Amino acid sequence: MPAVIALDSIPVIELGSTPVIEIDPATALALAAVALIGGVGITAIGPGGILVTAALFALTTATPATVAGTASATFVATGLLGAVAYLRSGELSARAGRRDALLLSVAGVVGALVGVWLNARLPTAAFGFLLGAVVSLSGALVWWRTRREGDGGDPASHGTVTAIGFGVGVVSGLLGVGGPVLAVPLLVAAGTPMLAAVAVAQVQSVFIASGATAGYLAQGSVSPTLALLVGLPELVGALLGWRLAHAVDVVRLKRALAAVLVALGPYLAVV
């Protein structure tokens, strides 16, 4: 009988307890590897955190609420690291960048709380279907973005940025997929330069993920041990992703990630 690692044998908070999640060493290693790749994607091109959510859903016995809550908790840390990194490299220094980050964040927190409320009313089967749909959609958006690499066009209006922030917040709170996975492609489509879009999405991710995590903590649906298992390699990946975004042309990387996401979506919808 294979050895297992029992996660969360004690209650997360006094409001409730999280069921024991048994993970064999091979699965733990796979989760860590996916988290590392996901962290790279978060700060290099935006989509990436969704891989962590997908892996938690597909490879563990965690409930949809625990998947979303635990993933959201890790995105607080990666968002903070990404925001600091992009502030250092200058993408958040411009006035427009700070404005967009504020609008995305405020609207995103409101949307995330709505998403948490919806998650509690979502059947497990529907969670998998919606997660698969969002994974495939994000892959399609990433691929589409590679077709218009130029940063031309008029900057997004205040109303557009706010609407994107709220919509991304709802999806992030509902499914625990992280803000950048949809915010970056949508912002670029609305006229925001790529690196600026990735930068402001990091700030939004902190606020969205914090709101979502607080909501799931109130339900006892955040696994600290599982969060550490995927969160630490995810942080390493986020630092590598920021360096990658400034060092190489990531068009091929984006297309490869898009292909993986599009292929992964149908699997998650039926798993």
Confidence at residue 148, expressed as pLDDT on a 0 to 100 scale: 61
Q: Output the tens digit of pLDDT for each of the chain's 271 residues.
A: 444 445 444 333 333 345 567 788 999 999 999 999 999 999 988 888 888 998 999 899 899 899 999 999 999 999 999 999 999 998 887 777 788 888 988 998 899 889 888 888 888 778 888 888 888 888 888 788 777 655 455 667 888 899 999 988 888 888 877 778 788 888 877 777 778 888 999 998 898 889 889 989 998 899 998 999 999 999 999 999 999 988 877 677 777 778 877 887 887 777 6
Pairwise CA distance, residues 46 & 38, whole Å: 10
User: Tokens representing 174?
Assistant: 């509902």
Confidence at residue 252, expressed as pLDDT on a 0 to 100 scale: 74
Q: Could you tell me the pTM of the whole model?
A: 0.79
Alpha-carbon Rg for the chain, nearest whole angstrom, is 17
Q: Residue 22 is inside which H or E element, if any?
A: strand 21-23
Half-sphere exposure of 84 (CA within 13 A, CB side): 8
What separation in angstroms does the CA of 216 have from each of 27, 88, 119, 210, 219?
Answer: 24, 32, 10, 10, 5
Pairwise CA distance, residues 158 & 254, whole Å: 28
Confidence at residue 13, expressed as pLDDT on a 0 to 100 scale: 32
Confidence at residue 9, expressed as pLDDT on a 0 to 100 scale: 40
Confidence at residue 18, expressed as pLDDT on a 0 to 100 scale: 52
* Dihedral sign (CA 61, 63, 68, 72): negative
